[in-house]
Amino acid sequence: MSVFGKPRGEKYHTRNIEMNTYDYDDTRFVVEGTLTDFRHKEFRMATGEDRTPGILHQMIVSLLVNKESLEIEDLQVEMPVIPRGDCLETIHCLEEAKGLKVASGFTAKVKDIGGGIKGCNHLVALLTSMGPSVMQGYGAYCDHKIPGFLLENFHFLVNTCWVWRNGGPLIGILEEKQKEKGNG
């Protein structure tokens, strides 16, 4: 396969981010995110240490999310693989995210809480990417447990991307279905 008209070269780095959503109880669900950075070649750290190929970072953030408000009620951070022990000093940098609602402005708030010298760039990257997964997990839960929920509450989708833009054809379809249901 080619990229930009040229065969792919040697691979040096892979970052995987995986999200899973689990039911927790009647009022909450859990979203678990894992970030893993893998180096494919021997490398030298900025401080001069030589390293062999393998996992450089593996971090896990678990969120306990309220099903009604989409507020983060609790948060746990694990750092099974880190490049240096000092990284553990940032394990609590996201604590202030407890109480945040996953809504417009979530990413900026997370960056303010744990970005730069306040915390860990990798944990911030993981938590900010979890916002959309909270919404996807919530949608999957509602679709499974509450028939018709998304039709009644499609406002969650409005302006989340081009195809769900206000005034676009998909929102128009849902508006029409909602009208039909109201008249039927």
Q: Which pLDDT belongs to residue 170? A: 92
Q: Which pLDDT belongs to residue 173? A: 93
Q: Which pLDDT belongs to residue 153? A: 84
Measured distance CA(56)–CA(58) in Å, rounded: 7
- Segment 21-48 mean pLDDT: 96
Give SS3 for 14.
Answer: strand
Residue with the bigger pLDDT between 65 and 156: it is 65
- Segment 21-28 mean pLDDT: 96
Spatial neighbors of 172 by CB under 8 A, at least 6 apart, are none
Q: Which pLDDT belongs to residue 183? A: 64
Give SS3 for 5.
Answer: coil
| Biggest alpha carbon–alpha carbon distance for the chain | 71
Tell me the Ramachandran region of residue 54: left when phi exceeds 0, alpha when psi lies from -120 to 50, beta otherwise.
Answer: left
> What is the residue whose two structure tokens read 């609590």?
92
Half-sphere exposure (Cβ direction) of 61: Cα atoms closer than 13 Å:
31
Spatial neighbors of 24 by CB under 8 A, at least 6 apart, are 30, 64
Query: Does residue 1 register a pLDDT over 80?
Result: no
